[in-house]
Structure 1
Amino acid sequence: MSRLSRLPADDRVAKIRSFNRFYTRHIGLLNEGLLDSEYSLTEVRILYELANHGPMTAATLGQELGLDPGYLSRILKRFDSRNLLQRSRSEDDRRQIFLSLTDAGRATFEPLNRASVDQIGAMLSKLSVSEQERLVQAMNVVERVVGNSAQEIPCTLRPHRIGDIGWIARRQGLLYAQEYGWDETFEALVAEIAASFVRNFDPERERCWIAERDGEILGSVFLVYHSDEVAKLRLLYVEPSARGLGLGRRLVDECIAFARAKGYRTLTLWTNDVLMAARGIYQARGFQLVKEEAHHSFGKDLVGQTWNLDL
C-alpha cells in the first residue's frame, strides 16, 4: 500500500491542491501572459487546438477545452480583431462555421509553440535520464487515471517504423536493469537483435508488432525467420503501466497466428527462468520447454530456456 493511500481523504485533497499550486507556479501559469507573451493560457490553448486540430467549429472547440461559450466568444472576437482567424462555411451544412488560423495566426502561434518546447526542455535538462523517465511515467499515470477513468483508450498494434528500434533497446535495457539488475550488455544484445531484424527484414516471412495507446508505446514483439520451417519469437516486452491488461498474451497470439499463416512448422523462443510472467504466457499458449542451460550473462547467473510450439 502506498503512503498516499493511507492518508485521510481530506489530506489527499490537500496534497493534490498543493501539487496544483506547485505546478502552476513552476510552469508560470499564474503570469499575466503565458510564455512571456501577451496571451493567456486559455488563448494559447485555443491557438494550439486550431493549429493542430483545426478547422473546427466554435462549439467543438469549446467542448474540447471545456470553455464557457460566452468566454470563448470574447476570445475569438479578440483574435478576429488581430486577423488571427478565418471562417469558412461547411459544404455539408451551411449553418456551420469552421474556424482555422490565418497566416498571421500561425505566425503568432509558432513562436509560442517554440517557447513552450524550450521551456519544457530547459526543465528536463536539469534532471537525469532516469528522473525524466520517472516524471513522464508519473504524468502518464495521472493522465490515464484522471482523464480516462470512465473510458479506457484502446491499445492498437502496428508495424515498426523509424525510431522504434532505438526506443525498444533503450526501454528494455532500462526496465531489465531496474527489475532484475541486468547490466548494459543486455541492452546491447537487444540492440543487436533489433538491428539485425531491420537490416535483413523480409516482410513476407517476418513481422514486428508495436503496441501503442494514445501515442505511447506499451510493448512489442518480433517474429524472425530462422528456416523455412522454424520461426523465432524474440524480444517480447510490456511496459509496467500496461501489465495485467492481457497485452503480452495478445502479442504472443499475433506471433502464433502469423507463423501459422506463413506455413512455419515450429515457433521457438529463448528466455530466462527468472522471467516468470513471460513463461506463464508461453506455457498457456502450448509452448513446451525443450532445453535448459545455466549461463552467466548481463552480470547475473541465469538459467536460459528454449521453448518450442508445434504449429
Structure 2
Amino acid sequence: MDDIEALRDFSRFYTQRLGLLGQSYLDSGLGMTEVRVLWELANGGLGTARAIAERLGLDEGYLSRLLAGFERKGWIERKPDPEDARRRRLALTAEGRKQAASHDAASRKAVGVFLGEMSPDARALLGDGLARVKQAFNPPRTAELRDLAPGDSGWIVERHGLLYARDEGYDASFEALVAEIMAEFIRNHDPARERGWIAWGGGRRLGSVFCVSRGDKTAQLRLFFLEPEARGLGLGRMMLEACLGFAREKGYRELVLWTHESHRAACRLYERAGFEKLGSRAEHEFGQDTVVVDYRIGL
C-alpha cells in the first residue's frame, strides 16, 4: 500500500470508528460541520464569518447559510464590530452556549467510551500516534530542550537504529554502539560536568545531544540527532549552542566530535559554528564503508 492509499485507508477507518459519517453527529440533529462551527464560536475566539471560513476552509456562501440557520434557532447574534462598523461580529447567545456545551459534553462522553475499551498501553500508543500524525501535517517551528528523563534513552537507541539503517544502510552494530553509549552515560556520568538534552516540540521528542567529559579540559559532543521532519528549522543550531554553552560554563577548553562524511548537513552546521576539521579516515564499520571526520572547537 503506497502513501496515498495508506492515508485514504486511515481516513475511512477513523471516520467510521468515531461515528462521523452519519447525517446527525452523535444524534444531535446537526451535521459534523455544524457542530464544528458551533465549537469554534464557543472556543475558537473567531468573531467573524470570514475568519471561521478561513480557519475551517469552508465556502463563505455555505457558511453564511449555516450561520443563518443558527440565527433562526436563536443560537447566535450579530453585533457591530467596535473596530470597524462595517463588520458584524458573531457571538453565541445563552441558548447557543447551552447547545455548544451540550454537544461538547456528548462528544467527550463518546470519546471516553471509545477510549475506555482500550488498555492503558493501547491508549498511550494512540496518544503517541496522534501526536505523530499532527506533527507530520504541521511540523514544529520551535522546540524546548529538556534534561534526559526515564524513557528517553530507549527512544534514542530505537530512532538511531531505525533511521541510520534506513538512510545509511548501517547494520545492528550501530544500534548496539548507541545502546552502549547510553548505558555508560546513565550508569556513570558526572552530573556536574556532563549532560544530555532531549529536544521536544509538538508534544513529542525531536532530537538529542550530549556533552560528555574526555578529561579536565576536553569535552565531547555525542548522539547529536534530529528527526527528519525537524531538520532545516534551526533546531540543530539551538541544540549545538546549548552543548557549547554548557561546555564553556563547566570550564572545558575544547569540544571535540566525530561524525561521518556522508552527514553533510551536520558537517556544514559544525563548520558554520566554528569547528575545525582535524582530518578524516576511511573505515569499514556498521556494515558499510565510511569516512570518519574529526572536528574540534576551542572554547
CA spacing shift, 1:303–1:41, aligned 2, 3 Å: farther
Is residue 200–residue 206 contact of structure 2 (8 Å, CA) maintained in 1?
Answer: yes
Distance 1:298 1:247, change over 3 A: same
Correspondence list, 1:218-233, <5 A: 218-233=206-221
Name the CA distance, whole Å, in 2 between partners of 1:118 and 1:172: 29
Matched, 1:140 2:165: no
In structure 2, relative to structure 1, the CA distance for the partners of 1:77 and 1:282 (3 Å cut) is closer
Verify the 8 A CA contact 2:131 2:202 in the aligned structure 1. no
Partners of 1:62 and 1:72 within 8 A in 2: no
Q: Which has the larger radius of gyration?
A: 2
Aligned with 1:289: secondary structure? strand
Give 1:243's aligned residue: 231
Give the superposition deviation at 1:277: 0.9
Q: Give the distance between the partners of 1:109 and 1:160, measured in 2 at CA.
A: 33
Partner of 1:30: 21
Matched, 1:73 2:93: no
Return the alpha-carbon distance in structure 1 between the equivalents of residues 25 and 231 of structure 2: 42
Shift of 1:78: 8.8
- Asked if 2 retains the 8 angstrom alpha-carbon contact of 1:271 and 1:304, the reply is yes
Task: Return the offset for 1:309.
Answer: 1.1
| Cα distance in 1 between the residues matched to 2:103 and 2:273 | 61
- How far apart in 1 are the matches of 2:120 and 2:212? 42
Report the CA distance between 1:175 and its aligned residue.
Answer: 1.1
Total equivalences in the alignment: 242
Alpha-carbon deviations, 1:179-218, whole Å to 9, x = none?
A: 1111111111111111211111222101112111121111
Q: TM-score, normalised by structure 2?
A: 0.65
- For residue 163 of structure 2, the aligned residue among 175, 187, 191 is 175
SS in 1 for 2:219: strand
1:148-169 deviation per Cα after TM superposition (whole angstroms, max 9, x unaligned): xxxx653111111111110011
1:76/1:191 CA distance change after superposition, 3 Å: same
Question: What is aligned with 1:294?
Answer: 282
Match of residue 154, structure 2, among 166, 187, 192: 166
1:88 alignment partner in structure 2: none
Offset of residue 112 of structure 1: 4.2
The 5 A counterparts of 1:198-217 are 198-217=186-205
Q: Structure 1 unaligned runs (5+)?
A: 5-15, 46-57, 85-105, 126-131, 146-151
Change (3 A) 1:61 1:120: farther
Give, as a single letter, the amino acid of the residue that structure 1 aligns with 2:136: V
Distance 1:166 1:268 in 2: 25
The equivalent residue for 2:62 is none
- Given that residues 289 and 308 in structure 1 are in contact (C-alpha distance below 8 angstroms), is that contact kept between their aligned partners in structure 2? yes
Q: Could you tell me the percent identity over the aligned residues?
A: 40
- Structure 2 unmatched ranges of 5 or more: 47-51, 53-74, 77-91
Taking the aligned partners of 1:303 and 1:178, their CA distance within structure 2 comes to 18
